[in-house]
């Protein structure tokens, strides 16, 4: 069994090593650039000018001297190793490799490269504006989109300096923008064109709320509140509370968590507790406070007295000729308490609100929309279009086969010299269409036959009769997986199941399953397991047919390597475990929920998440590991 431990890169130290070093490959400008072995690299860190060296066959050689954060290198091999030393530093940084993957935002930019102005269809977590007239959209998995006064858009991601494109909060003051992400916070100084970072010094790098005021920088994290004042001194006023909202009031700072805390100017605190979280705070000049809470809906609070104004799911509130409520899955609630369901915005939930010109901007789980407060209807004249993401198991192959972007592809199969595409209602090639007996959830080719699983069961296609044959005496499956040798499924109640010969392994509750040669790897919430199915000798070597490989951590997805080993995705890592338990891994950072890991047909991996698809470069991990 292997212990899998993720740790931070390094903290600030007496040797003045660079802080928050990140090396970002240039985003591809075309599909042909997706797998380039050499790319320009951009170096970001918090600190002064520095020297960069690269490891070559002759040893460490100087690549550049006296460069500033944001420096862009000439094209270099993706797996190169680098180290950085600040001008006044006594030691080099830890040896670091480029982040050898392409993010959902960068994939979106490829898909919409022919469109000048668009807003990503990610969850819009927060919206604000700067004095230059720009409106800024924080997007979960989509970075930050700037809508300029001329209605043009630009997109900020890791290449532009964000520590993560999973943006949870933002706050603007003058022309400055403070952005909170899943991997720290960054302050974009608009007038100075500079950046500052906070990461390892925070109580937690998962930043849930940020606030700029005239004197202080407040960063609310998953495990506490961080403060940097105008002298540069730093404090942690509240710990280990999970901070959801911040609001400057006359008495000090209001902090929303499981209740409400007032931090006064002298540092003293007073607290009102109640069950559930406080997601937003709106203060009025007469001392009235409106609170968006988890379990009590919208609460009106004044002079130590509270009352429930509206019983709903409340995420954000906005006062524009009355109180508007972003009510999550319930939708947008108007001051007259009319509910506009999420479907009005082609979405499933409403998360954020912002006043813009004579309308309000509504942030949903599928982009942002302008809404007329007078007619209570969507306006199309204020925002660019919301770009719709492609739903494909391999976006690169999808476009190589010249499929329309609006076709959802579940899988691609190559049978003889013909490409076949599985969509929800059919399997088709350029010459033939096979309609399905029920909407498909997944599918494979096994024993030279098409197999699909649906909500009505598992079927295989008999070419001679041109009929779908149901597989008898097996439960409903959530997915099918094969390595060409055996066929496995994951039942609806998350039990690994071998289809033929039929056998279940109810000792495990799985998140994913992957056959791999004489074994099958299983992902669970508590680790990675291996089932020995094709070798009695190997099973006896382990004294049983079930072997624990990695324990005590979440494994979200697995993919067999055909050699009794597998690739896996944890909370922050992509790794590989060989048959003899040799481990290789790379740190991807805080990931959204992962629901699939698969090989890309032309090399690399596609990692499907709830916030879009990541492409993992073929050279991200030692190519000797590839099957």
CA distances from 588 to 81, 111, 474, 572 (A): 17, 23, 37, 5
Q: Enumerate domains of the chain plus CATH numbers.
A: 19-99 (2.60.40), 117-312 (2.130.10.10), 313-386 (2.40.10), 410-472 (2.40.10), 475-590 (2.130.10.10)
H or E element at residue 77:
strand 76-77
Q: Measured between alpha carbons, how far is 204 from 241 in angstroms, rounded to an integer?
A: 11
22-68: pLDDT as tens digits: 999 999 999 999 999 999 999 999 888 999 999 999 999 999 999 99
Segment 97-117 mean pLDDT: 89
pLDDT at 544: 58
- pLDDT attached to residue 379: 96
Of 484, 475, 419, residue with least CA distance to 448: 484
Task: Determine the Cα–Cα distance for residues 446 and 351; give it in Å rounded to an integer.
Answer: 44
What is the C-alpha to C-alpha distance for residues 585 and 31, in angstroms, rounded to an integer?
A: 26
- Degrees to nearest 5, angle at CA 177 with 245 and 155: 110
Contacts of 40 (CB under 8 A, 6+ apart): 25, 26, 72, 73, 74, 75, 76
The C-alpha atoms of residue 255 and residue 244 are separated, in whole angstroms, by: 8
**Sequential DSSP letters for 272-305:** EE-SS-EEEEEE-TTS-EEEEESSS-EEEEETTE
Spatial separation of the C-alpha atoms in residues 386 and 205, rounded to whole Å: 30
The residue among 229, 211, 143, 269 whose CA lies nearest residue 219 is 211
Task: List beta partners, residue 90.
Answer: none
Q: Is the pLDDT of residue 6 over 70?
A: no
pLDDT for the residue 421: 97
Mean pLDDT check: name the lowest of 14-18, 60-64, 73-77.
14-18
Rounded alpha-carbon distances, angstroms, from residue 183 to 23, 48, 127, 599: 15, 21, 20, 27
Report the distance separating Cα 170 and Cα 179, nearest Å.
4
The Cα–Cα gap between 444 and 624 comes to: 26
CB neighbourhood size of 309 (10 A): 19
pLDDT for the residue 305: 85
Residue 406: pLDDT over 60? yes
CA 441 to CA 478: how far, in whole Å? 7
How would residue 349 be classed by pLDDT, with cut points 50, 70 and 90?
very high
Burial of 535 (0-12, 13-18, 19+ CB in 10 A): middle
How far apart CA 124 and CA 347 sit, in angstroms, is: 11
Q: How confident is the model at residue 239 (pLDDT cuts 50, 70, 90)?
A: confident
Confidence of residue 622 (pLDDT cuts 50, 70, 90): low
Among 324, 305, 308, which residue's Cα sits nearest to residue 316? 324
User: Hey, what long-range contacts does 374-380 have (CB within 8 A, 24 or more apart)?
Assistant: 376/334, 376/338, 376/340, 378/344, 378/345
CA pair distance 357, 370, nearest whole angstrom: 10
């Amino acid at each position: 069994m292997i212990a899998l431990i993720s740790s931070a890169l390094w903290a600030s130290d007496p040797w003045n090593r660079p802080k928050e070093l990140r090396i970002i490959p240039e985003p591809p400008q075309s599909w042909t650039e997706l797998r380039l072995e050499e790319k320009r690299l951009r170096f970001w860190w918090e600190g002064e000018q520095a020297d960069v060296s690269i490891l070559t066959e002759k040893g460490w050689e100087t690549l550049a001297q006296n460069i500033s954060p944001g420096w862009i290198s000439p094209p270099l091999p993706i797996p190169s190793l680098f180290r950085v030393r600040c001008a006044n530093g006594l030691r080099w940084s830890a040896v670091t490799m480029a982040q050898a993957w392409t993010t959902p935002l960068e994939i979106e930019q490829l898909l919409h490269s022919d469109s000048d102005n668009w807003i990503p269809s990610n969850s819009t977590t927060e919206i604000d504006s700067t004095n230059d007239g720009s409106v800024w959209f924080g997007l979960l998995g989509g970075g930050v989109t700037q809508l300029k006064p001329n209605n043009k858009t630009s997109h900020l991601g890791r290449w532009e300096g964000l520590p993560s494109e999973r943006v949870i909060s933002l706050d603007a003051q003058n022309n400055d923008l403070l952005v909170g992400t899943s991997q720290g916070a960054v302050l974009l100084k608009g007038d100075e064109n500079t950046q500052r970072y906070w990461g390892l010094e925070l109580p937690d790098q998962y930043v849930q709320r940020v606030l700029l005021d005239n004197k202080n920088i407040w960063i609310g994290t998953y495990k506490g509140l961080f403060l940097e004042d105008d002298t540069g001194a730093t404090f942690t006023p509240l710990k280990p509370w999970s901070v959801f909202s911040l609001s400057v009031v006359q008495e000090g700072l209001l902090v929303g968590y499981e209740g409400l805390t007032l931090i006064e100017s002298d540092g003293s605190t007073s607290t009102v507790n109640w069950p559930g979280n406080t997601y937003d705070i709106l203060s009025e000049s007469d001392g009235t406070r409106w609170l968006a809470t988890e379990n009590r809906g919208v609460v009106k609070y004044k002079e130590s007295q509270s009352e429930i104004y509206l019983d709903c799911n409340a995420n954000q509130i906005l006062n524009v000729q009355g109180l508007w409520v972003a009510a999550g899955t319930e939708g947008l609630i108007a001051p007259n308490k009319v509910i506009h369901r999420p479907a009005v915005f082609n979405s499933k939930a409403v998360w954020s609100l912002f006043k813009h010109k004579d309308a309000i901007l509504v942030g949903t789980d599928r982009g942002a929309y302008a809404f007329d407060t007078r007619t209570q209807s969507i306006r199309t004249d204020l925002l660019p279009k919301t770009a719709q993401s492609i739903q494909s198991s391999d976006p690169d192959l999808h476009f190589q086969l010249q499929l329309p972007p609006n076709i959802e592809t579940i899988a691609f199969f190559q049978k003889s010299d013909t490409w076949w595409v599985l969509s929800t209602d059919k399997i088709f090639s350029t010459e033939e269409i096979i309609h399905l007996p029920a909407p498909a959830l997944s599918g494979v080719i096994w024993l030279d036959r098409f197999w699909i699983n649906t909500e009505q069961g598992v079927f295989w296609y008999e070419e001679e009769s041109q009929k779908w044959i149901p597989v008898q005496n097996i439960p409903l499956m959530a997915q099918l997986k094969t390595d060409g040798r055996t066929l496995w499924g994951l039942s609806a109640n998350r039990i690994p199941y071998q289809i033929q010969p039929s056998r279940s392994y109810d000792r495990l509750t799985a998140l994913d399953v992957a056959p791999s040669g004489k074994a099958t790897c299983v992902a669970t919430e508590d680790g990675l397991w291996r089932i020995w199915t094709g070798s009695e000798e190997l099973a006896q070597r382990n004294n049983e047919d079930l072997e624990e490989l990695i324990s005590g951590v979440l494994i979200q997805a697995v993919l067999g390597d055909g050699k009794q080993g597998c690739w896996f995705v944890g909370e922050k890592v992509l790794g590989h475990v060989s048959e003899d338990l040799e481990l290789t891994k790379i740190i991807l950072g805080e990931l959204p929920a992962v629901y699939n890991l698969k090989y890309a047909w032309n090399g690399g991996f596609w990692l499907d998440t709830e916030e879009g698809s990541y492409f993992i470069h073929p050279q991200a991990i030692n190519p000797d590991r590839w099957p």
